[in-house]
Amino acid sequence: DVRSQRRCKGHAMSLVTLIDGRQVDSMCREWLLETLARKVLSYPLAGRRAWLASMEHRGDKAGADELRAAMTSVHQHEHGQKMERV
């Protein structure tokens, strides 16, 4: 949720709250990862698996693992349960 706005280099920046409660700038890597995780979680299971596989195919195994972990955290935060392995 947006808590406040400030100006930085001519652009409005918003403070947002991550699922772990930390407030960060809306352009920080953690927030971008969390929002990508929410987006990919909105896909059917086959689409989630395809997204992660495409990252790994491009040689970004570490990024795919990081996104997978973020997706698990977001899902558990929103649903209070473990999600099916993607």
> Looking only at Cα atoms, what is the longest distance across the chain?
43
- Pick the more confident residue, 53 or 11: 53
pLDDT score for 70: 96
Average pLDDT, the chain: 85
Confidence tier at 3 by pLDDT (50, 70, 90): very low
Paired tokens of 51: 């997204």
Per DSSP, what are the bridge partners of residue 6? 13
User: What is each CA distance from 44 to 19, 33, 75, 82, in whole angstroms?
Assistant: 22, 19, 14, 16
Summarised one tens digit per residue, pLDDT across range 36-68 is 999 999 999 999 999 999 999 999 999 999 999
Taking each continuous run of H as one helix and of E as one strand, the counts in the chain are: 3, 3
